[in-house]
Amino acid sequence: MRSIMLAVLICAALLGLAACGSKEKVLYVFNWSDYIDPALVKQFEQQHNCKVKIPTYDSNESMFAKIESTRESFDIAVPSGDHVTLLAQKGYLEPLDLKKLSHWGNLDPKLLEKARSFDPGNQYAVPYFWGVTGLLYNKKNVPAEVLKSGSWSMLADKYFNGKQKVSMLEDAREVVGAALISKGFGVNDTSEQALAAAAQVLKAWDQNITQYDSEAYKNEVADGTTWLAQAYNGDALQQMELNKDLGFILPVEGSSLWMDSMVILKSSQNKELAYAFIDFLLEAENARANADYVMYATPNAEAGKLLDPAFTGNTLIYPPAEYVDKCYMIEFLGDKVKAINDLFEKIRMN
């Protein structure tokens, strides 16, 4: 009897080991919300017999703070350019092994060159999408006379006084950057003169600002809770597809220009699966489908050839060269960024 029981226990142990060995792998992709086609995620899960979990964040600052402070092990993150530099300097990023990215060649060489401004040698970051920031509005609530200037200055328009119907992003670089641009400075200018001018502009805008939030506006402009909101162009266009009463403006003074990238964290427990996921998204057809879903400009040149001309010809997604010339890439500023962050906090907490 004892020998039979021993055999049963051994079999149970072996079955348990087999079950552990076949346990479904989980890939953690730390991302912005609504920033990947769910159908592609499902397709990857089926192809690789895994689960992809996508915890989200609403600002680069909160993303960085979570990576720096948490014990959770994310595999992939999707930071903007200046935070790629910061993560790399802190030693959190895995250097890319391009031999594991068979579709790397699909990326536009010109945009890879731009990416070197925050990732020298394209050592850590795989360009994901790029875009600009502007103003999303509800046509039912914002009259044409307010919109006709096409300027950032409409954030301070007297029409909005006391209505509590305007919002800006919860992003120091975007909010202060817009104020800097409105006064003729670049988004990376931290001189006393530039920040003093920006502070005056922000004080005027803040009289109309209800909240600084990077998520709620997506629904609130549509339902009339908010009438005018600083917005990322792709997020705005996603909402415009659902609601024809919405419009979007690229302010005449220019805007910030950003590029988000996929990076693999050194702490990743599934680096091979992370490479497979990134390479999957670099495939031309998958990159096309992803661009169609998120409505941002893709850095994938081969995907661009597959996109509908109506998409690539949309100047709110791909602004004309003369507008891009008025835009500023958000750069890593090191300790100088504290002056921008402090100004934002002062205005936000006022």
Going residue by residue through the chain (350 aa), what tens digit of pLDDT does each one get?
444 444 545 555 554 444 444 578 999 999 999 999 999 999 999 999 999 999 999 899 999 999 998 867 899 999 999 999 999 999 999 999 999 999 999 999 999 999 999 999 999 999 999 999 999 999 999 999 999 999 999 999 999 999 999 999 999 999 999 999 999 999 999 999 999 999 999 999 999 999 999 999 999 999 999 999 999 999 999 999 999 999 999 999 999 999 999 999 999 999 999 999 999 999 999 999 999 999 999 999 999 999 999 999 999 999 999 999 999 999 999 999 999 999 999 998 87
**Where in the chain is CATH 3.40.190.10?**
2-129+259-317, 131-257+325-348
pTM: 0.86
Instruction: Write the single-letter amino acid at 119.
Output: D
CA dist 40 and 21 (Å) reads: 26
Report the top-level CATH class of 131-257+325-348: alpha beta
Element holding 2 (H helix, E strand):
helix 2-21
Q: Which CATH architecture has domain 2-129+259-317?
A: 3-Layer(aba) Sandwich (3.40)
C-alpha 303/C-alpha 318 separation (Å) is 14
What are the DSSP calls for 88-156, one per residue?
HHTT-BPPP-GGG-TTGGGB-HHHHHHHTTTSGGG-S-EEEEEEEEEEEEETTTS-HHHHTT-SGGGGG
User: What Rg value do the Cα atoms of the chain yield, rounded?
Assistant: 23
